[in-house]
Structure 1
């Protein structure tokens, strides 16, 4: 049941109570057409993720993964010591964090060069 403009005939209304701040935010996010924005959002047609194949440097992914594993191990050790009320050598923790930070900085610089 389309009219001459090829738009569906819409005869139902939804009343929605919001605060002024929420109304302003919805209008801003809608970019002009609030009805279209809410329909797309409510029917899961909004912000569809464009599935693209991303080619990543396997060596870079491997290095980031290794850094993540090191950080998780460090945090796990800190939590275990904390739970068991053992002393935590914060100088050692800081040294490990400095190393991880330097490794991440090196990877960022490497990525910018490519």
Structure 2
């Protein structure tokens, strides 16, 4: 079961770059799908959000082991896609995430830190 993840979020397309934004979005979906098929990650899910007054338009959550997530982040193609996305879409961000069994581990680290500081 996956314990690590990447939350890859984005906002609205840069004005005038909408077509390129769709192109990069398709590249990213294909890349994450192939990574899942090849077993380089455990799973991935893309979510498109409705209007809500914030700047997050959608995200992809990639799940895997810590080693799988670290390896994915180190891939040149991952860096290329994130860089291209940041040029055509606003508010692109890649955030490490704890998922599955990793959530309990993260809570344990937090609890230990709280205990140390109280």
Q: TM-score normalized by structure 1?
A: 0.29
- Based on CA coordinates, which of the two structures has the bigger radius of gyration? 1
Higher strand proportion = 2
Q: TM-score normalized by structure 2?
A: 0.29
Higher helix proportion = 1
- Asked which structure has the greater RCO (Cα within 8 Å, sep 6+), the reply is 2
